[in-house]
Amino acid sequence: MAFSASLSRKFLGFGTLSLGGLSLLIVGYAFFGFNGNSSPLAGRLVPAAYRKEVQWRVIDANMVESGATIPPDTNVIFTLPGDTQPILRRILLGSYDPDVRYWGYCLPENYDQTASVASDRLPGKVFLSEGERKARDDEYKRQLNERFSVPENLTEEDLNQLRQRPSGRIEHEIETFDPGSICYIMSQVPLAIGLDPDDDEANDQVEKEYDTDPEIADSDGDGVSDGREVFFLHSSPLRRDSDGDGLIDGLEDINHNGRIDSTETDPTKWDTDRDGLPDGLMKIGAGRNTQVLGEDKNLNGTVDEGESDPRMWSTLKNDISDGERYYQCLMTGGSDC
């Protein structure tokens, strides 16, 4: 479909704005002169005068392998070891937070420095965090509405095409990073970069920060991997029973998927249904006032005969909570409350 020359210029101009913020990066690569057979990256930094204006940091393959931190608001170049396995973006960069903003790209193996600098396109494949993608989409929609609020010669079909195929936009391309990749990244927040040799979804730098064992997928042996405890359950990867309710975390997240499903109790709350009784079995009080009480009396992670349901405020589905019913039983002299 042919649009007017005026419209084309307007729209391409907006697309250029997206690339404009990246021009510094291409200039940086012109100074760096990276290629697959380069000498150590640290020896190819930009001239000292330029370095004073823009912060750069190089994280080499050895640093990635042992774990490192990507500082915020800094131009960072990192290299993955060549003898490792492909690794997912969120594991490599140690963040599953959907609001965190970072972006970058990796150079192809046949990177041509001269051609890349002469072009207005990025020389490699781009990766954007979920937060960055959302922010860019929101800004694009805002700019689009401002520029095309008056239809003029545009039909609704024209507008839909523009929304679906925005010229010059930077799109997310990489989810898996290959061994030996050389990449650039700019992040809004510090990121823990590292490999994941024990395949627990927490890279080595994350494990350093949480003091877990980078060679054991489940450091506390509770049945849930370190990464899923840290990033999804937000339970302790060093305590088998994070909330102290008597049930180990792997019995509460029974399928070990890192989510609290409707059939499970919460490993970070000792009383999931807030009925006044612990999910498992634990001591409450001190001295003569100590009581041992709970809903899962045999601590097997299932609701057996004679037990109340730790996922339901009222197992009998009436107006009396399980906790209130338990204490009423004690007050009336019940022997098996």
Range name among 51-60, 66-75, 278-287 with the lowest pLDDT average? 51-60
DSSP letter (8 states) at residue 57: E
Q: Tell me the C-alpha distance between 54 and 213, whole Å.
A: 37
pTM: 0.76
Distance CA 337, CA 331 (A): 10
Digit-coded pLDDT (tens) for 70-84: 999 999 999 999 999
Taking the C-alpha atoms of residue 234 and residue 242, their distance in angstroms, rounded to an integer, is 9
Taking CA atoms, 80 is separated from 66, 84, 289, 295, in Å, by 11, 8, 58, 49
Question: Model confidence over 193-222: pLDDT tens digits?
Answer: 999 999 999 999 999 999 999 999 999 999
Query: What gap in Å lies between CA 255 and CA 260, rounded to an integer?
Result: 10
pLDDT at 262 over 90: yes
Does the pLDDT of residue 133 top 70, yes or no?
yes
Phi, psi (deg, nearest 5) at residue 24: -60, -35
In whole angstroms, give the CA distance from residue 182 to residue 119: 19
